[in-house]
Structure 1
């Protein structure tokens, strides 16, 4: 019987890359995201290319009611989840604290912290009942250090770091593995979302060096999940070679 991976935020970037990677490895998939048309397209691609079964569910992780209704509404066979990839997350704005947008703050807190909690609450109970499972949380270098104007985004990713450690403790006696991966600069839609669709400003974030790409993170997540049952990778920081810290990046145009 094929294993199952549930991936949030699967419509683009790291989530979509994870969907392809786990499908390649023979996993059936539960994919969630806010863009139904993207989920449908990706599901068709994966089914055709890898001959795996794909269930899709479109909802916003910020809504507790939507999370519970959509996940609990899945057929029983889809609740035998082996791996949960808590990928849904975003950054909004890059402003000093005194100029920050209340709406941006709430969007980040509701998505990066509450959304992760809502999904984990439901799926971890399935895993406890099933007697197996692995939760992999998407953190960030922003959860390990704080950089100028990153204030609230960094706070949310520090919360993910703490929640990952708490889950690891709470689920330890249930035989459920819990891991986190904390990427540095990854060229996805991340910066476009942060800068509200400003593609030029987003592109400049990656000028002069080779950033990570979504597949780099997906392959690392697969590695984490594919370790033997007695092995748990608690915490993994992954950076482009050119990046030494959140704010220290060697660019070819550096002087």
Structure 2
């Protein structure tokens, strides 16, 4: 059974010796403080006489993978098959032990050095599944990404340079030198923290309606396109496809396509879903 990332609520890496949480990644709202969950799990693991791999609560399950220096904790909605989740948890555990095991065993209290490892976790458990045909668009409403440091910051900057509001996810993946799963993880980070939105690439089968846009934008385009702009906008009635509208207007199709995309970009036209 495939893994459903929408069921993931929270992932934490906890140092075995002292019980400190060195990395926390929230995916969804929890009714319980995640720190309390981490403390509870650590206590259970330390004092249990037999290995515990799953703790079942009323609203969620806690899956646990234990290593030499660290345990990986996953809070997830109840799932019928834990296997695909555990495979990913084990890969995360192997990687953190390989990269940071020595530092975790000689811990000095500074968890900042582990923030970059968030990308490794998110490659296994992206914040959302990606539609490769969607077009990411940069947003100005983003909030701080708590683990945007070092190499994560560098790779996010790389990705942002390829996002132009026209390329699809698949096209961006083809252009970048990073592995596909890394690009998808980075996109999910930008989406989770509201730095991008996704839109459909327009096709001639799409149906559009006028949106709300400032008159200054319309005046700017009217000065360039004249009456063609008003004739075009009048045709978008929420019933006719772009193809049908282009067929009846006596203007260059490529120029009209360019104008339609511009009007959608600034919100003067919007798709009917």
TM range (shorter): under 0.3
Highest CA radius of gyration, 1 or 2? 2
More relative contact order, 1 or 2 (CA 8 Å, 6+ apart): 1
TM-score, structure 2 length as denominator? Answer: 0.27
TM-score, structure 1 length as denominator? Answer: 0.28
